[in-house]
Amino acid sequence: MSQQDLNVVSGRNRSFGGCSTCRSRHLKCDEGRPECSPCKSSGLQCGGYEKRIFFDFEVASDANLPRFRRPLLSEEERESMSESLTKAVSPKTVSRHLNEIDEECDTVLSSANIAISVGPFGAFRIVQNSTTAITDASDGSIWADCTQNVGLESDMTVTATSGSLTPRTRVLFQSLLELPGEEFDPSTFTLDGTIDGTICVNENFDESDVNLDFHALRQKSALPEIRHDFLFNNTDVNHGLIPPSPASMRLSVGADTIPHDAVHLIKHYSTTVLTLLTPFRHSKTPWHVLFVPHAKSCLAALTLGETLDHASLCAFYATLSVSASSLNGITQLNMWRDQARRYLGTAREHVRSMLKTAYDYPKTAKYKHILIALLSMVQVAIVVGNRDQAECYFIEAEKFIRMKGLNRKKSRKVRLLHHCYVYERLLHESIYIAGTNSSHRSHTRKAIESSGAMVYSQDSFSFCLGNLENLEGQTLHVKCREEGENDLHLQIPGFWPDTLYPEIFGLPEKYLFALSLVIRLGQWKDEARIGDTAATLSLKDFLNRAKTVEHYIKTLHRETHGPVAPPVVQLQATEPVLEDLLQAMCHALAIYFYRRIYNVDSDMLQKHVMGVRDCLLRLDSTDSTISNGSARLLWPALIAACEAEDRAMQTSFIQWFKNSASCSGLPYFDIAKSTIERVWQARRDGLTTTWMDLMIDANFTGNE
């Protein structure tokens, strides 16, 4: 059924899109271009539409009709090609083969012809005397409207010399086009498929199929060069392990406005890094619906020559930095390490500029975009092991949420971002013991209190210990919407039906509430040791509350390992990692409580240490590669491994961290492994060093 027929049946002559102005006013939009009718009749400036880059393949009679990609090969042919590739080379040796090609290419002079083939992979370069690949039949020909089509003026033809195609590619063309060898002449091959009088760049062919020289064209136009390999299709082969060639990474507006490897890095983030962050295999997580689409939208806007705010640019470059860090760990190429540092430096410049105007009115960026930027910077800091930088961005994110977010009506996307912040903040707070009374926190607390925003908060700013009398009864209390949304750091006991933690992280909220309780107890203990709050809570009261929290954690442990599994565990048929993630978190909570509050001997914790180790081994046995949500196992693995005493158990933990580091490429697995080894070495030397001692040590912050 066509789009027009659907509109007749539904009685609606519009899509669910619309310009940004109509969407903000909650009005119907006819999506007219260049401006819609409602904005024109109201005398308002039309805000335009979301920036998307797409490719057309054939004539479209109606611009409103939906457009689809047409695959070059049939499904059977693609399956056959995939099978032949996997048979030709082992997935574990892909990176090695590609690195061999790169190294061999580096040894050849740039002026020499080369043709290298290693297994199914190959690289070639043919030096041509003629640089004219585009014949301009009209002096006024420039790029067509890039917001609608990626094409050339109708009088422009594209030719390719016979030397631009390898023999393998010529055979491919002959088989696809069903032409005999003597009839195929690449010099007569044109890029057809006109739309509104323009000739579109066809994306059907590989990078080496058509050699286009856009140098002369870029001298006439300041608009970007759009390559036909500009795709965000994640359903094909994972290209995260393949370092792109300089030609395939070229995507520039004039000078260096757009990073040349942005497409490759975003694709690697989408296919490799993203799978580590969530235990779910569906596409409804915050990273699928917020972070990755935002990065793609930023790249599209930059490609179209638009100016972005500092928040969007910060999130964009932070995402590139994380992806480059991952590629550096996987490929061991210094180029990715340098790129990660360069993008991180750019992201830091933008986040500084963003924070200067984040509280201005009228606002300079959307609330979601600023929060995405701050959370992206948190992710970069955690990945590289810079806990001090992560602390800084966490405090800024909390300040922004309390002053700009709690007093607003929260959409689902905003709530997703808030949940992401709280989850990461609690894990950070559990091990960042040294800076709980920093000047940055004190300054931020005063700023929030002076703004009057604390009236919207349902919890305290500094993880104060609340009333835990009758905790078991309080946990049965059903929170209202305001309590559920504005109890930012989970201080209030109770149940909130609309919580999103199970959907995002596979954990019920009560597990994070238990972690919050231990954090608050631990901070009171540290402050009492210094003498700041010893008079406010007697030792008897502290021990009673510690006993209450201990009983609550034991209750969670019985529920997780009891005959009736919680709802999250019952999803293990579709998400196998969830059961082990839940059990590992439960064991780690017990270990963390006894170490943080009672500081017991490690001998008393070996049962829980073995429980975490068994969860990691089961996950490794279910998948030859790193499993979904492996990053969510980092905290339980770190807490448990630091207490391991048996050599065989220590070896198991080290092997898991090594495998996770090699498969993901993310530095924080190696950083955690080095921390664990330092604890073990201190224990062998007869010291009583724990992971808490290392975290308090100013020398261990992971800073570069």
> What pLDDT score was predicted for residue 474?
87
Strands 151-153, 157-158: parallel, antiparallel or unpaired by DSSP?
unpaired
CB 352 within 8 A of CB 690: no
User: Please, which pLDDT band fits residue 396 given cuts at 50, 70 and 90?
Assistant: very high
> What pLDDT score was predicted for residue 133?
39
Q: Is the pLDDT of residue 255 over 80?
A: no
> What pLDDT score was predicted for residue 59?
43
Lowest mean pLDDT among 71-80, 187-196, 472-481, 628-637: 187-196
In tens, the pLDDT along 115-142 reads 888 878 888 877 655 444 333 433 433 3
Which run of H or of E encompasses 61?
Answer: none
DSSP alpha helices (H): ranges in 594-646? Answer: 606-622, 634-641
Stronger pLDDT, 284 or 546, i.e. the higher one: 546
Lowest mean pLDDT among 220-224, 355-359, 416-420: 220-224
> What pLDDT score was predicted for residue 541?
84
> What pLDDT score was predicted for residue 16?
56
In tens, the pLDDT along 508-518 reads 999 999 999 99
Cα–Cα dist 682/690, whole Å: 9
Q: Give the best-scoring range by mean pLDDT among 231-240, 321-330, 619-628.
A: 321-330
Average pLDDT value over all residues in the chain:
76
Average the pLDDT over 600-629 and give the result. 83
User: Please, which pLDDT band fits residue 622 given cuts at 50, 70 and 90?
Assistant: low
Which run of H or of E encompasses 114?
Answer: strand 114-118
In tens, the pLDDT along 646-690 reads 999 999 999 999 999 988 999 999 999 999 999 999 989 888 888
> What pLDDT score was predicted for residue 627?
61
3-state secondary structure of 154: coil
Largest CA distance in the chain: 94
Q: Is the pLDDT of residue 542 over 60?
A: yes
> What pLDDT score was predicted for residue 279?
85
Cα–Cα dist 608/644, whole Å: 10
In tens, the pLDDT along 551-574 reads 999 999 888 765 544 554 444 445
Q: Is the pLDDT of residue 449 over 50?
A: yes
Residues in Cβ contact with 347 at an 8 Å cutoff, skipping those fewer than 6 apart = 313, 314, 315, 316, 317, 318, 321, 376, 377, 380
User: Please, which pLDDT band fits residue 576 given cuts at 50, 70 and 90?
Assistant: low
Stronger pLDDT, 542 or 219, i.e. the higher one: 542
In tens, the pLDDT along 298-341 reads 999 999 888 999 999 999 999 999 999 999 999 998 999 999 99
Cα–Cα dist 478/468, whole Å: 16
DSSP alpha helices (H): ranges in 632-686? Answer: 634-641, 647-664, 667-684
- Token pair of 103 as six digits: 């190294």
Average the pLDDT over 583-606 and give the result. 94
Q: Give the best-scoring range by mean pLDDT among 148-157, 321-330, 571-580.
A: 321-330
Cα–Cα dist 263/232, whole Å: 8
Lowest mean pLDDT among 273-282, 387-396, 680-689, 694-703: 694-703
**What percentage of the chain has pLDDT greater than the value 70?**
70
In tens, the pLDDT along 497-506 reads 999 999 999 9
Average the pLDDT over 420-427 and give the result. 96
* Angle, alpha carbons 425-426-428 (nearest 5°): 65
> What pLDDT score was predicted for residue 626?
53
Supply the DSSP symbol for 567. T
User: Please, which pLDDT band fits residue 169 given cuts at 50, 70 and 90?
Assistant: low
> What pLDDT score was predicted for residue 250?
34
Residues in Cβ contact with 692 at an 8 Å cutoff, skipping those fewer than 6 apart = 433, 595, 596
CB 461 within 8 A of CB 486: no
Residues in Cβ contact with 442 at an 8 Å cutoff, skipping those fewer than 6 apart = none
Residues in Cβ contact with 144 at an 8 Å cutoff, skipping those fewer than 6 apart = 150, 151, 152, 153, 198
In tens, the pLDDT along 472-481 reads 888 888 999 9
3-state secondary structure of 158: strand
Helix 606-622 and helix 634-641, axial crossing angle in degrees, nearest 10: 140
In tens, the pLDDT along 196-224 reads 333 333 333 333 333 333 333 333 333 33
Residues in Cβ contact with 114 at an 8 Å cutoff, skipping those fewer than 6 apart = 105, 108, 123, 124, 125
> What pLDDT score was predicted for residue 204?
32
Instruction: Please state whether the predicted TM-score (pTM) of the whole model is above 0.95.
Output: no
